[in-house]
Each structure stands twice: as C-alpha cells, then as structure tokens.
Amino acid sequence: MAASVTVENLNPKVLKCEYAVRGEIVIHAQLLQQQLQTQPGSLPFDEILYCNIGNPQSLGQKPVTFFREVLALCDHPCLLDKEETKSLFRSSPNYFNVPLKHENLCISDGSSLCSADAISRAKQILASIPGRATGAYSHSQGIKGLRDAIAAGITSRDGFPANADDIFLTDGASPGVHMMMQLLIRNEKDGILCPIPQYPLYSASITLHGGALVPYYLNESTGWGLEISDLKKQLEDAQSKGIDVRALVVINPGNPTGQVLAEANQYDIVKFCKNEGLVLLADEVYQENIYVDNKKFNSFKKIVRSMGLGEDDLPLVSFQSVSKGYHGECGKRGGYMEITGFSAPVREQIYKIASVNLCSNVTGQILASLVMNPPKAGDESYASYKAEKDGILESLARRAKALEDAFNNLEGFTCNKTEGAMYLFPQIHLPQKAIEAAKAAKKAPDAFYALRLLESTGIVVVPGSGFGQVPGTWHIRCTILPQEDKIPAVITRFKAFHEAFMAEYRD
C-alpha cells in the first residue's frame, strides 16, 4: 500500500529541517503568480517581485558576455575548428557602447561571434581536458587544468600561494558545505558555531546531518559586528552542555546581514579558532560584492597566511560560488571549496565523499575558472568586461543605498548599511497589536508581516525568523536585486503597504 510511506515514518531529521529562503512565503508567491497568469487583474499587483533570494538574473541582470562566449565555445567545440576558414559574428549586445575590436571570427560586415580572448580561453580550457571531452566525468575534485587556473586566481587575489590539490569543485557552494558537515558531525553532541542571523543552508545542513547548531549573535547595534567575547561565551556554554564544538562558520560579507569584516576582527577570529581547535568554515561567496569604500574583502586564507600560520596550524575551508559576485550565474551551479590544514588521511576521506557523486558539472567548473580569472587589461574583452562588471556593481551599490534609506524612513524600521553581499536585513519594531494578530493567525510576527506584504504588493521577502534573530526582535531579508529602474516603484509600493499596515495595527 502506498500508505507505507507517511510523514510519520520519514527520517525525523528531514522533517525538522527548515529552509525559509524557499519556504512557505515563496510557495504562496508561486501560487499567486499562477493566479496572475490565469486570472489577470485579480490581484492588487501585476507581477511577483522575488526579493527573497540572491538570484540576479531572474530579475533581469544580464550575464557577463565574455563568460558566456567561452561557455558556448566549450559546449560546442566544433565552432572553434572553423576559426581559420570560416567567419562568425559577435552577437552580444554591446551594452555599454565600448568600442570593440575583433580580429578573428568576423563575417563580411566585420561583426564577430566572440572576442579573440574568449576564443583563446576556450581553446586553452579544452586543451586542459583530455580529448576536449566536456561531456566526460572529470576528476572528482574537478578538471586539473581548471583547478590550476583557480589556484592561480586565488594566489593573485591573496598574494599567498594556492594549490590545485586543495581545490574541490562543487555544484555551487552548497554541496561543499554539506560535505564538510557530513565529515565533521558524528551525532547530536557535535556542534557547529554559526552566526545568528545566518544563511539557513547552515541550519538545514546541520539538522540533516544530526548535529547541534551553536549560535553566536552578531551585534545589530554595531552594524552586525562579530564579537569574540560572544563567541567565547557561546562556545563555553555549549561545552558545558557536553557539546563537542568542531567548527566555526563565518559568512563574510555577511548573509543576510551585509556587513564586511574588518581585518583586525578576522585576525581575532583566526586566533580564536586556533586556540580552541576549531575548523574555520569561511563562506566567502560574496567576495566581489562590496559597496563601500572603507571596507575591502580579505580572504581568511590571506589572513591566516599573513599571521604566519601554515598547513599545520589551522584547518580552513573557503567556499566560493559562481552564483554571486557581479556575474550572478546561479543556474550554472559552479563553485569550489579550498581546503587547507587537513591531514592527508582526512583529505582522502573528503575525496572519497566527493567521488561518490563522481564530479560537479563541467560547465559550472569552467565558469568557476573564468570567474577566478576574468579578462585582464590588454585582453580584447577587457574594456567591455570591465564596463559590464562595474556597471552591475555600481548599480547594486546605488540600489542598496536607495533601499536602505527607504527602509530607514519607514515608521518602526531600522536598517544597517549593506556594506556587501546582496541583502538588507532591517529590523521592524512591530506594534503589539500586529504581534497579537500574528499569534491569532498562528504565524511568527515577521512571517505575518511578510505574507501581508506579499498579498498587498507582490513583493517577496523572507521573514527574519528563517535566519535566526535575537528573541523578541523581528526582521525581514530583502535583496537589493530588482533592476534599478524598478527600485522607485518598489519603494513606493512598500511604503504604501507599510503605512496601511501601521494604520491598521498601530498600538
């Protein structure tokens, strides 16, 4: 009987797991979207605006041309074989009116399919794959030549050497996180220190692997500062309960909180991990997304090496993804983890887990190598590449500022600056009457607010309760990703909703 499988007899870890970024609010939004299609005009808005997830291209951001040229050539390498004799055109729209020069692959009117550097990069990548076989399983850590390229990119970023053998290419950053949790968590007495608020991949993964999430609180009043004193306190508290704390997760730039760690703070975090024997799991997927002049991204690898610490001193994992940055190639599912400071036998176990899934997707692998080695000054694509990149990042900075200002102008909202990443995480001081209405509706107050926002405006945000927050405070996470020309309308809709909400529930 099909009734043999019921919710009651499923793995309780699965039942317990939560992932709010695609949770109840989003499922409701998808239903409303269907309603808009089948019954246009039946809702007080014309479209659903997904501000729940860092998914830039879903909101109209265009892919970076150079990256896509290389991918198309690698997908269908036959294109390259005709270089000498045939001609092609560069069809990418020249978004920024940068003069393009094309020496190769032009048809009679002089327009070209691909830049010369895209062609040479594709050739270089294909040459590094035995038999140019982009359709073959690769080494379980990823294609060696691509890992070499990524290691070179890390070396150039940090000024300290990186090694291809330390790179594990993954389908986005998430599988790497799961792999490390799987490796470290033996049972419910193994704990992982995680920031609160946190990106719920961490809580979900820890729950699925049956471990304990040991929370440390980012200080909202100091711009989501990470305080070593709180780390210590939470560690000791967990240890006193018999928890064996194995690792510390740091998300820098922060998700959902948008702060960028100061260098001195990073030194202290490294010392803390070293002293306490913790693995440092550094989520650095937003390393390109920094919007303020007074902060810059430092990888933990660079910090660790700057302190003179080497392989024997600290187990460190850095996660990177092609989904974020200025490129936002979420659908390609590329990423990597760089692991250092683990013994050979432990690394063998990591390799074994990676090998069970054979390899990550090769398109994502290629893209990860491109993201870590974009065109350089002198390359034919450089001007257009730089214009695309700068255009996106500058626009994101303006959008972040506009939304931050708008939130801070709403009654009961306080919103820290988005220094980096893709999100605002404002606190909403909800009136008691709204909190009671939420209780009556059996919702968390911020979920109640987010649902009402969705139903009134079509704007999808994630309630703070999905990320964790200081008990009794309420937040929402809202991406900065709607296209810039839509931001004023988003603000107007949001403001009108909020004023009506407050008029209804003001104490």
Q: Going by C-beta distance under 8 Å and a sequence separation of 6 or more, which residues neighbour residue 59?
A: 49, 50, 481, 482, 483
Q: Give me the least distance between CB of 51 and a copy of itself, in Å please.
A: 14
The verdict on 76 binding a copy of itself (CB under 8 A) reads yes
Stretch that binds a copy of itself, among 249-257, 277-285, 402-410, 454-462 (CB under 8 A): 277-285
Query: Are 169 and 360 a contacting pair, CB within 8 Å?
Result: yes
Q: What residues numbered 379-398 form the site for a copy of itself, per CB under 8 A?
A: none
Q: Scanning residues 138 to 157, which ones bind a copy of itself (CB under 8 A)?
A: 138-140
The reply on whether position 330 binds a copy of itself by CB under 8 A is yes
Nearest-5° Cα angle at 255, 442 to 192: 85
Please identify which residue in 115, 255, 289, 360 interacts with a copy of itself, judged by CB under 8 A: 360
Determine, following the binding rule CB under 8 A, whether residue 332 of this chain makes contact with a copy of itself. Answer: yes
The distance of closest approach from Cβ of residue 252 to a copy of itself in the complex, given in angstroms and rounded to an integer, is 21
In the complex, minimum distance from the CB of residue 219 to a copy of itself, in angstroms, rounded to a whole number:
27
Q: Is 441 in the site for a copy of itself (CB under 8 A)?
A: no
Among 146, 235, 278, 428, binds a copy of itself (CB under 8 A): 278
Among 4, 38, 39, 221, binds a copy of itself (CB under 8 A): 4
185: contact with a copy of itself by CB under 8 A: yes
Among 44, 96, 107, 241, binds a copy of itself (CB under 8 A): 107
- Go through 244-269 and write b for each residue having 16 or more CB atoms within 10 A of its CB, e for each that does not: ebbbbbbbbbbbbbbbbbeeebbebb
Q: Which residue, 60 or 219, is less far from a copy of itself as judged by CB?
A: 60
In the complex, minimum distance from the CB of residue 269 to a copy of itself, in angstroms, rounded to a whole number: 16
Rounded CA separation 20/425 (Å) = 14
Secondary structure (H, E, C), 341-398: CCCHHHHHHHHHHHHHCCCCCHHHHHHHHHHCCCCCCCCCCHHHHHHHHHHHHHHHHH
Position among 128, 182, 395, 473 found at the interface with a copy of itself (CB under 8 A): 182
DSSP-derived letter for residue 134 is: T
Least separation, in Å, of the C-beta of 223 and a copy of itself? Answer: 28
Residue bearing tokens 């839509």: 486
User: Which of 58, 219, 222, 409 is close enough to bind a copy of itself by CB under 8 A?
Assistant: 58
Look up residue 503 and give its DSSP letter. H
Strands 476-479 and 462-463: antiparallel
Chain positions 210 to 269 lying near a copy of itself, rule: CB under 8 A, are 246
Q: Out of 36, 72, 98, 292, name the contact with a copy of itself by CB under 8 A.
A: 72
> For the chain, first and last CA: distance in Å?
54
Identify the CA nearest to 268 among candidates 256, 254, 280, 285. 280
Judged by CB under 8 A, does residue 364 bind a copy of itself? yes
Residue 201 interacts with a copy of itself (CB under 8 A): yes or no: yes
Q: How far is the CB of 138 from a copy of itself (least distance, A)?
A: 6
Q: Which of 104, 115, 174, 469 is close enough to bind a copy of itself by CB under 8 A? A: 174
302-321: contacts with a copy of itself (CB under 8 A): 311-315
361 belongs to the binding site for a copy of itself (CB under 8 A) = yes
Those residues whose C-beta lies under 8 Å from the C-beta of residue 497, and which sit 6 or more positions away, are 452, 453, 456, 457, 459
- Whether the bond between 12 and the residue before it is cis, its omega within 30 degrees of 0, is no
CB 309 within 8 A of CB 265: no
Measured CA to CA, the distance from residue 249 to residue 252 in angstroms comes to 10
78 binds a copy of itself (CB under 8 A): yes
What is the dihedral sign for C-alpha 458, 459, 465, 470?
negative
Kindly state whether residue 15 participates in binding a copy of itself, applying the rule CB under 8 A: yes
> For residue 126, what are the contacts with CB-CB under 8 A and spacing of at least 6?
74, 77, 80, 132, 134
- Tokens representing residue 427 in the block: 């606190």
Q: How far is CA 284 from CA 52, 173, 321, in A?
A: 20, 10, 8
* Chosen residue from 51, 238, 279, 281 binding a copy of itself by CB under 8 A: 279
Query: Which of 71, 290 has the CB closer to a copy of itself?
Result: 71
407 vs 423, beta carbon nearer a copy of itself:
423
Which of the ranges 58-66, 248-256, 371-379, 406-414 carries the binding residues for a copy of itself, by CB under 8 A? 58-66
| Min dist. Cβ of residue 21 to a copy of itself (A) | 8
Q: Which is nearer to a copy of itself, 157 or 274 (CB)?
A: 274
As given in the structure block, the two tokens for residue 238 are: 């967990």
Task: Give the nearest distance from C-beta 423 to a copy of itself in angstroms.
Answer: 15
Residue span binding a copy of itself (CB under 8 A) among the ranges 51-59, 255-263, 296-304, 440-448 = 51-59
Quote the least distance from Cβ 4 to a copy of itself, whole Å: 3
- Contact between 89 and a copy of itself by CB under 8 A: the answer reads yes
Window 340 to 359, contacts with a copy of itself (CB under 8 A)? 341-343, 345-346, 349, 352-353, 355-359
Looking up tokens 């109640």 gives 448
Give me 71's structure tokens: 């991918």
Cα pseudo-dihedral 425, 427, 431, 436, rounded to 10: 60
Interacting positions 442-481 with a copy of itself (CB under 8 A): none
Contacting residue, 127, 136, 441, 496, with a copy of itself by CB under 8 A: 136
Select from 454, 395, 423, 399 the least CA-distant residue to 47.
454
